[in-house]
Amino acid sequence: MILAYTNYDPRLKALEDAATEFATRARAKGIDLRFHAGLATTSRTAVDADLDESPALALVFFGHGETAPPPGLRIDSSNTLLGPQDGGRLRRVIVALSCHAASVLGPGVTRAGGTILGFDEELMVFTGERSSVTKDCILALLAPLLDSNGNTMRDAATAGRAAFRAKATELIKSNDFGNLILAGFLEENANIISVRGKAQRTIRTP
């Protein structure tokens, strides 16, 4: 599995923390992991080689996704790691913890025979003392993929929706106005989780 995250935007600290924890859990499960931490344009040679030379490896990406040119998974503010035009790279299983990833890459992934689990619209990522809320929900979405019983992308999507909604319910019960607003964002995150392409594939499926 190829795992990569970007950290050029400090607002995405929750995704960086989730990526690091997910890497630890994947290694504990014995998964062969190619971990590209703090990915940037100046250090992309290794991840580009992995994507091109190992098409059977799943990609799990934590970072920005954009609809504006250049569309796709951003390696920095103006360059993509993966875009809708990258047909050969889209044949794999892709898990993108990014805004717009499923809607932007979904059509190309489907044409290429691949699979993407991601978000159709803008993913609300909490910052500061609330960042752990985002981290915990993301890790709950990813957890089924590490099980050895063959959980699919569809199973992970279901777990992710449940995690965001459970946290939203918890915040609503606090009767705090600020928490009510946050709960709405969590519910929206749950609603935009999507699987495109072959939803029955697992993270270990070539």
CATH number of domain containing 27: 3.40.50
Tokens of 7: 């950290």
pLDDT at 130: 92
- Please tell me the total count of domains within the chain: 1
Assigned domain for 53 exists: yes
Please report, in angstroms and rounded to a whole number, the separation of the first and last CA atoms in the chain.
Answer: 10
How many Å separate Cα 94 from the centre of its chain?
8
pLDDT at 205: 76
Separation CA 59–CA 1 (nearest Å): 6
pLDDT at 43: 85
**What stretches in the chain show pLDDT beneath 50?**
none
pLDDT at 142: 97
Assigned domain for 201 exists: no
pLDDT at 20: 97
pLDDT at 41: 84
